[in-house]
Amino acid sequence: MPTYNFSAGPAVMPKPVIDQIQAELPSFQDSGMSIMEISHRSQLFEQVINDAEQDLRDLMQIPNNYRVLFFQGGGTLQFTAAPLNLATAHHHIGLLDSGHWASRAADEARRVATQVDILATGTDNHFTALPQLQGPVDQNLDYVHLTTNNTIEGTMYTKLPDTGHVPLVADMSSNFLGQPYNVTDFGMIFAGAQKNLGPAGLTIVIVRDDLIGHAKNLPSMLDYQLFAEKQSMFNTPPVFAIYAAGLVLKWLKAQGGLAAMAQRNQEKAARLYDFLDQSQLFNNPVIPSDRSTMNVPFMTGDPALDAQFIAGATDQGLLNLKGHRLVGGMRASLYNAMPLAGVDALVDYLATFEATHA
């Protein structure tokens, strides 16, 4: 029986990539050493990290005036690093409160003495619609923080807010590389790898170079300027995670790049939403225009029935469908590496369950 992993993260990776990792794990490029055993200063690894950066630049069409940095510490560390590095003129940022991770970002920014204005919030509709700017933003803000995809609530910004000259800083953790965005629309983009890129332990930061280098005496491990100067090798980088992410980037190129991924992701998500919208039993609460292609929450409204559904799904090889504890019910994450066949298997099981439990 095939299994399909709908986890929100760490999440499914492309099968050919897992196979390649397995095949070359004992001896990387005939060196007689595993990728996990080689120095990050070796020529072998230099090639790995340089290729990963170049492939990412190609896929996202990242202009030369943006630095690509490889960090550890997850998306969460960037909630601290972004204000420390970029909120240097006014110590004052704006934020669109689109859900749990946006509000975590606000908390962490405040911890490093940054004033955070909530420019709009989705609390009134329980985050079933995206908060939108209600007019021009204060041009003295250092930046506006935006969570492009809300992993828990299942919403996604495709049209970006107009912040005038104030740079947008995007937490793209859960839809990174799932569709094209124009990098020049952002001052900075960051994303933890463990959803759409590779194993946990790696975080990508893409930042416009005129925005960095203004902070004084930052802890070294949080200093974008230092990481840029040292090409992400100030200390030992997460060698294995960068290697695995590099393989995923090559896989993405072979799949036709981000426009092709967007098309496939839309098709996958549409199959699930179409089923949910006609269902008498299951429901997705998000308004159609704001729905995520990556994370789809759904529920019956009866926690006991949800639990029965999840147990039955697990028996069918449909794994990790339990919803986030804040929302309950179920959540299917449909990242790049989830094949259409996985979504079809889920929809088949949803239909069977409904027929026998309605």
Q: Cβ of residue 8: shortest distance to ligand PMP, in angstroms?
A: 6
- C-alpha 353/C-alpha 311 separation (Å) is 11
Does 7 contact ligand PMP by CB under 6 A?
no
Q: Which residue's CB comes closest to ligand PMP?
A: 74
Three-state DSSP at 181 gives coil
| The two three-digit tokens of residue 242, written as one number | 């960068």
Tell me which stretch binds ligand PMP (CB under 6 A): 19-27, 64-72, 167-175, 348-356: 167-175
Rounded to 10 deg, the angle between the 340-357 and 303-315 helix axes is 130
Instruction: Report if residue 74 touches ligand PMP, rule: CB under 6 A.
Output: yes
Note the helical H segments in 87-131.
100-111
Helical packing angle, 340-357 and 257-278, nearest 10°: 10
How many residues bind to ligand PMP according to rule CB under 6 A? 11
Which residues are catalytic, by number?
A: 101, 171, 195
Least separation, in Å, of the C-beta of 160 and ligand PMP? 16
Judged by CB under 6 A, the residue of 101, 275, 282, 335 near ligand PMP is 101
Classified as helix, coil or strand, 155 is strand
* Residues 245, 192: Cα–Cα separation, whole Å: 11
266 vs 174: CA distance, rounded Å: 15
Q: How far is the CB of 76 from ligand PMP (least distance, A)?
A: 3
Looking at beta carbons only, is 101 or 349 nearer to ligand PMP? 101
Q: For ligand PMP, what does the binding mask look like between residues 190 and 229, x meaning CB under 6 A?
A: --x-------------------------------------
Q: What is the DSSP letter of 178?
A: S
> Considering only 72-80, 134-142, 154-162, 346-354, which stretch makes contact with ligand PMP by CB under 6 A?
72-80
Helix (H) or strand (E) holding 39: none
Determine if 142 is a binding residue for ligand PMP (CB under 6 A): no
Which of 50, 3, 2, 12 minimizes the C-alpha distance to 294? 12
Distance CA 291, CA 311 (A): 26
Is 236 annotated in a binding site? The answer is yes
Q: Minimum CB separation from ligand PMP for residue 95, in Å? A: 13
Residue ranges that bind ligand PMP, judged by CB under 6 A: 9, 74-76, 101, 147, 151, 171, 173-174, 192
